[in-house]
Amino acid sequence: MKLDVNALGTFYRMAREGAGLAAGRLTHMTDVETQVGVTKLNFMRGQEIRRDFEDSTEKVGVRVKLTGAIEGYSMIVFERENAFRIIETLLAESSSDDAVDIEEREFDEMTQSAATEVGHIMNSGFVDGWADVLEAVIDVSTPEFVEGQSAEPFFGDIDETPDDDDLALLFQSRIETVGTEIGFSHYLFPKRTSMASLLDRLRTSGGIEYDKLDGFDRMAERGAEEIAETATTLTGIDTSVEIRRLNFVSLEAIPQQLPDETLVGVAFEFDGMPSGYLIFLFDEESAHEIVDAMIPMDVDEDGFGEMGTSAIKELGNIMASGFLDGWANVLDTTIDHSPPEFIHDMGAAAVDPVIIQLGENQEFTFVFDTVVMADGREFDCEVYAIPDESDLERALNDLEVDRIEETPTTAEFQELDNT
Amino acid sequence: MKTYGSEPGAPTPVQVGISELIVSEGDDTLKSYGLGSCLAIALYDPDRDIGGLAHVMLPDGDAAEHSDRKPGKYADTAIRALLRRMVEAGANYTAVEAKIAGGSDMFEFESFGEGVGQRNVAAARAELEKLGVPLVAEDVGGEHGRTVEFTPETGTLVVKTADKNADHEVIEL
């Protein structure tokens, strides 16, 4: 199975079109204004998908089996409580004197069938959007209602879901109702053979072997672990990698997924094969925590003064070296990075210059999203590694997948002399 | 981000994401979050309460392929698309005025050359000049992010800045 940017770009358009149609139909059905949130193509391992689900909230899902131009499963997932709220809106319209007892929060025949209906109409919206983009027919089975707290009832019996260590391509979208907190997630699990033949059809270049992407993801996994270890060594705060995934998104989607709040960040440009940009973002509380941990004495500074800034830059610099060394070792190359640039500003504003720079030559990008967190203390760090597209393609083609398992990744702790 | 359906006078501002442009009227508010080097371009006809906001990321759409697919991505094509849609909605071309905000240069990376933010500002000024649309106010450049909120009825562009001392600064253009 081979993929290229053009084929992934078409997939991304499919995901966006599908989300748009699904949101439109939900609005039509419930009269609730909706908007499409972040749409992503995720390359996720089975274990990560499962972990995504195990956040102990009760969820309900409506899934359909697809045949035709795409084979696999399409599933709408909502939190149980949200499902009830939507059903309430629906049933209140059709039969006002027979209102649902929301307090009970159990699905009876009527509420389950209403929830299934909503889910099915949204699934069909997605599928119609994909069919439009592909100009092909996709058939949809009758919907199945699923509920539970873990991944098991949702994916357990589906062959298409990847094993723990398999990297699967997943379409993920978020639809939100305007002004409220009701959101839906959508997943598409395509069958590997169906995906392979689609990729073949959509590819316009030689493409990258899928297995190499898998290799690259493993390598990035090590880079992420390196970051967590570095952070622990330097700050004494026990950190670990919480989320890590490889996404394929349109450049514009990256700043949009950041929260509308002031963040503290360190940014680098890196140069080599591949070149690109690396950004670490902390929320303000975490950044203060880091400064306190790294500077033993009491510092009387407003916001982030000279000492705080340089402590965060130093941490960022060493984390960047560890992360990029991880890549360089596996790719058997050297990747240099610039001195750190400190930023304390709106999150999106920290990322958009990079998007603009890359946007001159590319529309989409692979993003290595990583979240490092600490137990009990504030240390939330989001890492965005955004490589130049053509460089990445070349670097991946040169990658020998066998090397990955053999290459140790060790960050060198070098002194920062440029601040 | 797309919004489906709209309630006139709804209190929630309509979000204008990167590379998007929206034309509206009356007291609707249009909002763009966290502009760094991106530029917010607001055009409005003060007599007819029609206006629009674009959140552009690049300067030159005429030089790019497929800019017709996403006119809101580039300063030049976004300005022309805003004008066209406003005129279609009943605005008078000769009355239209412009305000811009954003275009910071936050990083000094080698690859960034003369500054991505500055190029956006320069491109917007040049296109407005070419079309004879007066630029009546601006808050551009610097090294900080901005969030803008635009109301077509009043032509007010509110610019919020997260400044270095974490004091929130608000300017009304």
pLDDT of residue B2: 34
In the block, which residue shows the tokens 């670097």? A395
Q: Which of A357, A358, A364 to mutate to test the interface with B (most CBs of B within 10 A)?
A: A357
- d(CA B17, CA B96) in angstroms, rounded, equals 23
Q: What's the pLDDT score for residue B164? A: 55
CA dihedral A285, A352, B35, B74 (to 10 degrees): -170
Instruction: Sketch the domain layout of chain B as residue ranges.
Output: 14-172
Among A36, A346, A350, whose Cβ lies nearest the Cβ of B1? Answer: A36
Give contacts of A178 with chain B, Cβ < 8 Å. Answer: 3, 12
Which regions of chain B does DSSP assign to beta strands (E)? 14-15, 21-25, 30-35, 39-45, 50-56, 97-102, 135-140, 146-151, 156-162, 168-172
Residues of chain B with pLDDT under 70: 1-11, 163-168
For A146, the 3-state DSSP assignment is: strand
What's the confidence (pLDDT) of residue B43? 96
* CATH class label, B14-172: alpha beta
- Report CB contact under 8 Å: A345, B162: yes
Record: contact B4-A35, CB cut-off 8 A: yes
Which CATH number is correct for A2-202, 3.40.1550.10, 1.10.40.30, 3.30.70.1150, 1.10.357.10? 3.40.1550.10
Give B116→chain A minimum CA distance, Å. 7
Contact B71, A370 (CB under 8 A): no
Q: Do B145 and A345 touch (CB under 8 A)?
A: yes
Name every chain B residue with its beta carbon within 8 A of the beta carbon of A20. Answer: 2
Chain A from 83 to 142: CB within 8 A of any B CB: none
Residue of A341, A347, A359 with shortest CB distance to B57: A359
Q: Given A33, A256, A341, which is nearest B7 (Cβ)?
A: A33
Distances (CA, A) of B129 to B43, B54, B56, B62, B155: 13, 17, 18, 16, 19
- Record: contact B34-A24, CB cut-off 8 A: no
3-state DSSP helix/strand/coil % of chain B, to nearest 5: 25, 35, 45
Domain A209-406 homologous superfamily, CATH = CheC-like (3.40.1550.10)
- The pLDDT of residue A304 is 81
Tokens representing A42 are 């995720």
- Residue A78 confidence (pLDDT): 84
Residues of B in contact with A258 (CB under 8 A): 34
| ipTM surpassing 0.90 | no
From first to last of its 419 residues, chain A has per-residue pLDDT tens of 888 888 888 888 888 888 888 888 888 887 778 878 778 888 888 887 788 777 777 888 999 999 998 898 898 888 888 888 888 777 765 544 444 455 456 778 888 888 898 889 889 998 999 899 889 999 999 999 988 877 888 877 777 677 777 777 778 787 877 766 677 788 888 888 888 888 888 888 778 888 888 777 877 787 888 888 888 888 888 888 877 778 888 888 888 888 888 899 999 999 998 899 999 999 998 898 888 888 877 666 667 888 889 999 999 999 999 888 888 887 888 899 999 999 999 989 989 999 998 888 888 888 888 888 887 777 788 888 888 888 887 887 777 766 666 655 444 444 444 43
Report chain B residues whose CB lies below 8 A from the CB of A353: 36-37, 104-107, 112, 116-117
Q: Is A178 on the interface with B (CB under 8 A)?
A: yes
Report DSSP letters for A9-37, one per residue.
HHHHHHHHHHHHHHHHHHHHHH---EEEE
The reported pLDDT for the residue numbered B163 is 63
Q: Residue A51: its pLDDT value, please?
A: 80
Residues 278..317 of A with a Cβ closer than 8 Å to B: which?
Answer: 284, 302-303
Q: Does the active-site annotation cover B38?
A: yes
Question: Strand pairing partners for A36?
Answer: A175
- Specify the domain boundaries for CATH 3.40.1550.10 within chain A: 2-202, 209-406
